[in-house]
C-alpha cells in the first residue's frame, strides 16, 4: 500500500509540474491584474501592469490589457485640461474592457468617430452607481476639467445601494494564485462542482430561512437613485446616464425624463441589430460589434450635446 501511496504522490507532483509548464507555455491562464484600495477608499488596479486576459479552456479569446497611471485599463493616460474636450465613461467591467484588446475599447471607437475628443474610461469590475459617483467626488479636481461625464448604469445591478461604502474584497487562498494551473482551473470552473458540494453540505446544516417577500425592487432602485443623485449633487448639464431601456423599469425611465436626467439608450440599437450577436461567445460582455453600437450611440449623444457644440464653435 505504501508503494501505491508513494508512487501516486510522485506522479501527482510531476503531473502538477508538467501541467503547470503546459499552461504557462500555451498561456492558457488569465493574467488578472492586482488591485489596491487608494487613500479615498476606491478600488483601482495597480498602475503599470500589462498582460492578457484569456477566455475559454483552449484560449478561444485572448486580449491584451494595460493599466494606466490612474489605475484603469486604457491605451491612454488621463490628463484633462481646460482647453481640450474630454469625456469620462464610468462603469463596470463593460467599460473596463478586459474582454477586448485595450486599444479596441469603446472610448477608442468614439475617438475614431469624433476628431479632437479624448475619452477616459473609468471602468472597474463590479462598480455600481454609488462607486461611480464616489469616484467622481473624490477625484473632483480631475473631473472638473472633464466636459461630459457618462455613467453606465445596469438597472438590475447598479442601484442596489443608496450610499457608498467600501465593499471589501478578499482573494481566496491567495498563495494558490501563484500557480497558473490553479488560476486556469479556477477560471474554467473546474472547482465549481466541489464548491457546490460544499455549499450543499453547508445548506444541509443550516436551518432553511423563509424567503423575504414583498420588497418592490423597482421602488427601491428609484429611491436609491434619488438619494444618490441628491447626495452627490448630480450635475444634469454635465452628466448623463447610459442604460439599456429594454432592461430598465418604465417608471424609472419616466422619472428620468420628467426630471431632466439625460440618458443614452443603447438598448434600441441592440434591438434593431438583433440578428447579429452583440456579446462574446465565451463571455457575456459586448463583442466588437456590440462596442461599435454603444460607441456610435454615445458619439451621437455627444454631437448633440451643448458642450461639444460650444467646443467646436
Binding site for another protein (CB under 8 A): 1, 3-4, 7-8, 11, 14-15, 18-19, 22, 56-58, 60, 184-185, 188-190, 192-194, 196-197, 281-282
Nearer to another protein, 2 or 168 (CB): 2
Beta strands 239-243 and 85-91 are unpaired
Nearer to another protein, 29 or 151 (CB): 29
Count the helix, strand and coil residues of the chain and give each as a percent rounded to the nearest 5: 45, 15, 40
- Closest distance to another protein from the beta carbon of 13 (Å): 11
CA 90 – CA 109 distance, rounded (Å): 16
CB neighbours of 309 closer than 8 A, spacing ≥ 6?
none
CB neighbours of 182 closer than 8 A, spacing ≥ 6?
176
- Closest distance to another protein from the beta carbon of 30 (Å): 14
- Closest distance to another protein from the beta carbon of 277 (Å): 8
Other CB atoms within a 10 A radius of the CB of residue 138 amount to 16
Name residue 67's beta-bridge partners: 73
- Closest distance to another protein from the beta carbon of 15 (Å): 5
Nearer to another protein, 184 or 308 (CB): 184
- Closest distance to another protein from the beta carbon of 167 (Å): 26
Which of 305, 155, 140 is closest to 218 using CA atoms? 155
Amino acid at each position: 500500500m505504501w508503494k501505491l501511496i508513494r508512487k501516486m504522490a510522485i506522479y501527482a507532483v510531476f503531473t502538477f509540474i508538467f501541467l503547470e509548464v503546459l499552461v504557462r507555455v500555451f498561456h492558457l491562464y488569465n493574467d488578472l491584474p492586482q488591485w489596491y484600495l487608494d487613500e479615498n477608499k476606491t478600488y483601482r488596479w495597480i498602475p503599470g501592469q500589462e498582460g492578457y486576459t484569456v477566455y475559454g479552456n483552449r484560449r478561444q479569446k485572448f486580449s491584451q490589457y494595460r493599466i494606466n497611471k490612474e489605475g484603469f485599463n486604457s491605451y491612454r493616460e488621463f490628463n484633462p485640461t481646460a482647453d481640450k474636450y474630454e469625456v469620462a465613461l464610468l462603469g463596470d467591467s463593460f467599460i473596463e474592457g478586459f474582454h477586448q484588446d485595450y486599444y479596441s475599447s469603446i472610448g477608442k471607437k468614439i475617438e475614431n468617430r469624433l476628431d479632437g475628443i479624448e475619452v477616459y474610461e473609468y471602468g472597474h469590475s463590479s462598480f455600481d452607481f454609488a462607486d461611480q459617483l464616489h469616484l467622481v467626488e473624490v477625484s473632483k479636481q480631475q473631473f472638473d476639467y472633464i466636459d461630459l461625464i457618462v455613467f453606465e448604469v445596469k438597472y438590475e445591478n447598479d442601484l442596489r445601494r443608496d450610499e457608498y461604502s467600501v465593499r471589501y474584497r478578499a482573494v481566496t487562498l491567495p498563495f494558490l494564485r501563484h500557480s497558473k494551473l490553479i488560476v486556469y482551473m479556477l477560471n474554467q470552473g473546474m472547482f465549481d462542482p466541489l464548491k457546490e458540494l460544499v455549499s450543499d453540505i453547508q445548506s444541509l446544516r443550516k436551518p432553511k430561512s423563509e424567503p423575504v417577500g414583498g420588497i418592490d425592487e423597482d421602488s427601491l432602485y428609484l429611491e436609491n437613485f434619488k438619494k444618490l443623485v441628491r447626495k452627490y449633487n448630480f450635475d444634469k448639464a454635465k452628466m448623463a446616464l447610459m442604460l439599456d431601456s429594454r432592461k430598465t423599469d418604465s417608471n424609472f425611465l419616466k422619472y428620468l425624463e420628467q426630471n431632466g436626467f439625460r440618458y443614452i439608450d443603447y438598448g434600441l440599437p441592440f434591438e434593431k441589430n438583433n440578428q447579429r450577436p452583440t456579446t462574446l461567445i465565451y463571455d457575456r460582455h459586448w463583442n466588437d460589434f456590440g462596442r461599435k453600437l454603444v460607441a456610435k450611440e454615445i458619439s451621437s449623444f455627444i454631437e448633440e450635446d451643448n458642450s461639444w457644440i460650444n467646443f467646436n464653435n
